[in-house]
Structure 1
């Protein structure tokens, strides 16, 4: 077990990823172990795929770190077996580290940039967290988390990035006509229960075929309607409830619009054309499936950033054509 987090406010207990021991045990014995495991508090993986390991502490009662002035949330860390997972040598010396299972999805680096950096094609701890607040950020797994309660109310980062989607970021949008889950986090019942508290899921919008992940499990859990463009439907998503055709846009309810932006799974020129659509739209946030979220001061700043991006990509695209 790598990390244990206890948040007294809304999540009872979260324990890092486990490794099943005794592969050749009898089915009965494994079944007994599984039953005992289920009877405990819910077991979940860490936000960054279970590859971020917590402090290796001696076997004694686990200390509790209180986070924030209110003291309502607490963090507890349980020892990881030394050498159980391959600790990357690029990590700074200390309790926190990233092991060799890292898939370079970037999630930990933008969640806690003061602790994690990219080194040698994977994430690594470049500076050990010093304060209790930094330690909490490094262990941040009490998802879903609000993006910005002031300027973007009702939008949550689901966490639980999945290797099936190469660490894509999933979001939950709380909406009076039914909540919308955008792309698929790794399926975990403890996350589903927290989403229940926020009103469940009516729609699951799958942006493209690479990020569908555990869509079937989420669909079964919430009986939600899955939405995917017909151009991205394959055997694994043939049973989605709503397929989008044409170039859109399409509306969900009274004030939610889906805009077709092909390119990620098509040619680069289509991607540039998709970005150009955003120049005429009034928004201040970009919440990507892969990459770092962006907030702009105003529409002018947003358009300036997009125009600079388009110019740089167009130049690179033209150079590639000449080559």
Structure 2
């Protein structure tokens, strides 16, 4: 959730704002380019929504923000209507689902993973299979934010059930849920030693 006391000074005055937790992922700028812009390596509101369509796209961007860095001063009474517009058709049978990720800081401050149907974990750069040591690992050499935070996030992630690990970089992994649960514990123990 965005915090008003962390509102970026680059925002134009008005209801919508971006706070300083923004990681400059560009989501809000492609979803509502008439409202959000890149200013100083983070997003900011450069134009408040002027009509219903701009407001809807701004609320969709708020809901889709992976770090929850977009907020409103007034409690948006139309947020439910915006939620109900998801998934948004992209093309043919491809949809933008919006806000279905889990915060797992470590690799980066705003890193997220996506767990689909408690089966498929899209792990980004948080977790992958290592054929060299025959187990799940995190990448300490490309941990750009905090190894301690990544370890804490890994412990949180170990409480979820999944069968597939589908990383952005590194090897995929698939096993039954009990084996994956054990692999997660092995990964945590490995991280604590490294």
Report the TM-score when normalising by structure 2.
Answer: 0.49
Larger radius of gyration: 1
Report the TM-score when normalising by structure 1.
Answer: 0.32
Structure with bigger RCO (C-alpha 8 Å, 6+ apart): 2
